[in-house]
Structure 1
Amino acid sequence: MQPTITIAEANQRVDGYIARAVKVLPPEAKLELHYQEQEGSCSDPTDHGPKNRVIASRSYKVLGLQQKAIPSYFDSLRSWWLANNFRVLDETPRNEFLWVENNADSFQMTLKANPAGGIFLLAGSPCVWRNGTPESQAQSGGDTEDMVAQPPAIPPVTPSPKPAQARRPRRKPVDDIEDFDQTDWTDENTY
């Protein structure tokens, strides 16, 4: 329940990280917005933090780069990220995927390449409070009075299990190759 930056600040920081990373690439690199969340749901299961927080994220397709030079783009961004307080979280397979996280603010970035030569640059914020401060129960839609007044949940009715069907007996495996061609494979009980 600690204060965070606001979602507006998270969006600015995501855009700033993308802008700085693309400057590491050759000047002909152009970004095409592929996907954007300005206030997405914080659903990180490893976070173990309170609900009602949000994230900012962007995904861009990088246009104008040569497919044969993809390994050099990965090397350039890896070096830049490591020199700018990021650590590598995963880079498998090498020169196809590189996922990093900033040591100071936990913002994450990813560089991806696909077999068709498509290159994607992504950035995302950690979970933050919309206004920077933890929301109270009343603000998040949960009222303690409502929670007390609600009756206990009724367990769902589960249908009775179906009777088990008898399994057909299987023919004992044969190790003898000679028997293979003598088996009548049209008989259902042989397999």
Structure 2
Amino acid sequence: MQPTISSEQAKRITVNTVHSAATASFPPGYKLTEIVFPNESCTDSSDNDTGQIRVGITYWVDGPDRAHNNAYYENLKRWWHNNGWTVETDTWSGKQFANAHNDDGYLMSLTGTVTGPVLGRLSIGASSPCVWPNGTPERRS
């Protein structure tokens, strides 16, 4: 078991990455409002908890005119391409969802609500690869 960055370092990277992508994708005046989710436990191929976690951050994107969501999506796709990300899933034209990954194992997504009272509300988020909470493998009892 190899050391990793710590969960705090992974959180900083995911937050900074989302903010960089948002700045390039949305017009001035947008606001990111955090949606709180717990960290996700990582499992091995037998679905056993490894002790590692995947750190994520997700935000509602408030402020931009939802009529221009397709343009914001295109801006994000361009940012992904220019920053070494690879689109993994792209169902934007139907289900308003797309995600991409980079070579470091981070994953980022953009989602637009397609049901409920606020259609087209965007959320953007990123998650880290599996990391040890303190950066070093922990002894298992």
How high is the TM-score relative to the length of structure 1? 0.65
**What SS does structure 1 have at the residue aligned with 2:42?**
coil
Q: What is the CA-CA distance between 1:47 and the residue it aligns to?
A: 9.9
Q: What is the CA-CA distance between 1:45 and the residue it aligns to?
A: 6.3
User: Quick one: percent identity of the two aligned structures?
Assistant: 28
Q: Which amino acid aligns with 1:21?
A: A
**What SS does structure 2 have at the residue aligned with 1:88?**
strand
CA distance in 1, matches of 2:110, 2:59: 10
More strand by share: 2
More helix by share: 2
Q: Which amino acid aligns with 2:2?
A: Q
Matches for 1:93-112 after TM superposition, within 5 Å: 93-94=92-93, 96-103=96-103, 105-112=104-111
Kindly tell me: are residues 11 and 47 of structure 1, through their superposed partners in 2, closer, same or farther at Cα, counting changes over 3 Å? farther
Structure 1 stretches lacking a partner, 5+ long: 143-191
Structure 2 stretches lacking a partner, 5+ long: none
Match of 1:173 in 2: none
Matches for 1:76-155 after TM superposition, within 5 Å: 76-94=75-93, 96-103=96-103, 105-115=104-114, 116-137=119-140, 142=141
Match of 2:15 in 1: 15
CA distance in 2, matches of 1:50, 1:28: 42
Kindly tell me: are residues 93 and 61 of structure 1, through their superposed partners in 2, closer, same or farther at Cα, counting changes over 3 Å? same
Q: Which has the larger radius of gyration?
A: 1
Contact 2:44 2:50 in 1 (8 A): no
Q: What is the CA-CA distance between 1:51 and the residue it aligns to?
A: 0.5
Kindly tell me: are residues 44 and 2 of structure 1, through their superposed partners in 2, closer, same or farther at Cα, counting changes over 3 Å? same
**What SS does structure 1 have at the residue aligned with 2:130?**
coil
CA distance in 2, matches of 1:112, 1:82: 18
Match of 2:64 in 1: 65
CA distance in 1, matches of 2:4, 2:135: 5
**What SS does structure 2 have at the residue aligned with 1:19?**
helix
Higher RCO (CA-CA < 8 Å; seq separation 6+): 2
Kindly tell me: are residues 97 and 44 of structure 1, through their superposed partners in 2, closer, same or farther at Cα, counting changes over 3 Å? farther
CA distance in 1, matches of 2:46, 2:12: 22
Q: What is the CA-CA distance between 1:135 and the residue it aligns to?
A: 1.4
